[in-house]
Every structure is written in C-alpha cells, then in structure tokens.
C-alpha cells in the first residue's frame, strides 16, 4: 500500500503562516501559545517544519485551531467536524476521570464499580440526546409554521411557550430517569429506607432505551 503523500517542510510552513494570518495572530501571539519566541515562529514559516515531527505538528495544530492533517497536506479540512470535536472533548474528560479514579480509588473492584456507573450515566444521557433531537426538530417546525405563528399571535401566545412545552413533554421522562439513577447512587446501600439496590438502578438505562425504541415505532 502506498504511503500517504504529505507536504514538504516548506509547504507546512506556508500553511502555518496561512492559518496564523486567518486567525489574526502575530508571530508573537502564536509563539506565546506554543511557549516559544517570535523568531522560532519566523523560522517555522520561512524554513518550514518537517511533517515527521509529529509532536511539533500536533502542538502547532492545537495552537492554530486546526488539524495536523491539514497542516501536513493530508486533508483540506482546516477544522475538525462536530463528531471529532465531541470525541476529543469526551476523550479528554474520560482520561481525566480514569487518572483520578486510579489515584484515589483503592481496589480494582471499586474502580470497575465506578466505571460501570459512569457507563450507565452515559447510556442514559445518550437516550436524552435522542429525545432532545426530537424536541428540537419539533421546535424548528413550530418556528417555520406561518399558520401556527398567526394563530399564536391572535391569542397573544409566545411561540417560546409552546416550544418550552414541547421540550418538557419530550424530555421529562428521561430526565426523571436520570434523577432516579443519581438518587439510587445516593441510597445504594439504604435498602431499608426506600433506596434502590444496584440491580434496579442498572436497569434504568435499559428501560429508557426500550421505551425510546417503542416510541419510535
């Protein structure tokens, strides 16, 4: 298989300058973001940056709010798409969580216990995301329905009030599931006072997903 063709060092330098100019950054500004002086940035732009210097390329891409692939000529997309940005944000938070958990939680069993609950909370949130999307689609329909807007004006009703009702109706059940899950964590050992055992709160994401699938049919 052929290796992907990347830019020469000179071409990378040209892209550094192009992006810096687009962002209205001076050489000094970019240098501060990278922790280097202005002359270093000047050298990068005039003499170039070797594409193989991965750490430097990634640092430059971060400082220039672009992608390593664009800087090295592997892509014409200057910015990450929404999915990639979200994944990067999640990865950063999950890595931070795992490091903290590893440093403060004693046994492997407890670590797995906490990781399992985080996965369930994420599962519940993913169901919320579907309900949120539905609510936003309905809100957009309301915003573009001229006949509805005329009717609302006739009765002095704000369209925002209708949108709020639509949102609450669509998302209230899953929000309540999330509340019950967190309440279950608080009372996980409190069986005699109305608390939920682990098996019961672990079922909440499954039940929420099941309801979502049924409502989609």
**Domains detected in the chain:** 9-71 (1.10.260.40), 83-216 (no CATH)
The two structure tokens encoding residue 83: 């999915």
pLDDT of residue 194: 47
Q: Which residues of 55-69 are buried (b: 16+ CB within 10 A; e: fewer)?
A: ebbebbbebbebbbb
pLDDT of residue 215: 86
Q: How far apart are CA 69 and CA 56, in angstroms?
A: 13
Q: Please, which pLDDT band fits residue 1 given cuts at 50, 70 and 90?
A: very low
pLDDT digits (tens, 9 = 90+) for 93-150: 999 999 999 999 989 999 999 999 999 999 999 999 999 999 988 888 776 766 655 6
Q: Please, which pLDDT band fits residue 157 given cuts at 50, 70 and 90?
A: low
> Is residue 2's pLDDT more than 50?
no
Q: How far apart are CA 115 and CA 131, in angstroms?
A: 25
pLDDT, mean over the chain: 86
pLDDT of residue 134: 92
pLDDT of residue 159: 59
Give me the half-sphere count of Cα atoms (radius 13 Å) on the Cβ side of residue 16: 32
- The lowest-confidence range among 45-49, 181-185, 191-195, 211-215 is 191-195
Mean pLDDT, residues 143-159: 60
pLDDT digits (tens, 9 = 90+) for 19-48: 999 999 999 999 999 999 999 999 999 999
Mean pLDDT, residues 180-207: 78
pLDDT of residue 190: 73
CA 91 to chain CA centroid, nearest Å: 9
The two structure tokens encoding residue 114: 């906490």
The number of beta carbons lying within 10 Å of the beta carbon of residue 190 is 12
Mean pLDDT, residues 68-85: 89
Mean pLDDT, residues 160-179: 89
Question: What is the percentage of the chain residues whose pLDDT exceeds 90?
Answer: 62
């Amino acid at each position: 298989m052929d290796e992907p063709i990347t830019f020469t060092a000179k071409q990378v330098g040209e892209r550094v300058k192009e992006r810096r100019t687009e962002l209205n950054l001076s050489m000094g500004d970019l240098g501060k973001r990278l922790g280097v002086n202005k002359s270093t940035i000047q050298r990068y732009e005039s003499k170039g940056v070797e594409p193989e210097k991965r750490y430097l390329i990634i640092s430059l891409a971060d400082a220039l709010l672009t992608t390593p692939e664009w800087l090295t000529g592997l892509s014409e997309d200057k910015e990450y798409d929404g999915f990639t940005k979200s994944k990067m944000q999640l990865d950063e938070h999950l890595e931070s969580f795992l490091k903290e958990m590893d440093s403060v939680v004693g046994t492997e069993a407890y670590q797995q216990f906490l990781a399992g609950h985080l996965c369930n909370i994420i599962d519940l949130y993913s169901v919320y995301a579907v309900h949120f999307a539905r609510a936003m689609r309905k809100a957009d329909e309301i915003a573009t329905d001229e006949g509805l807007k005329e009717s609302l004006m006739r009765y002095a009703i704000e369209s925002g009030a209708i949108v709020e009702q639509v949102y609450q109706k669509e998302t209230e059940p899953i929000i309540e599931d999330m509340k019950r899950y967190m309440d279950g964590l608080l009372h996980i050992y409190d069986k005699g006072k109305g608390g939920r055992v682990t098996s019961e709160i672990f079922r909440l994401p499954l039940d929420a997903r099941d309801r979502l699938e049924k409502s989609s049919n």
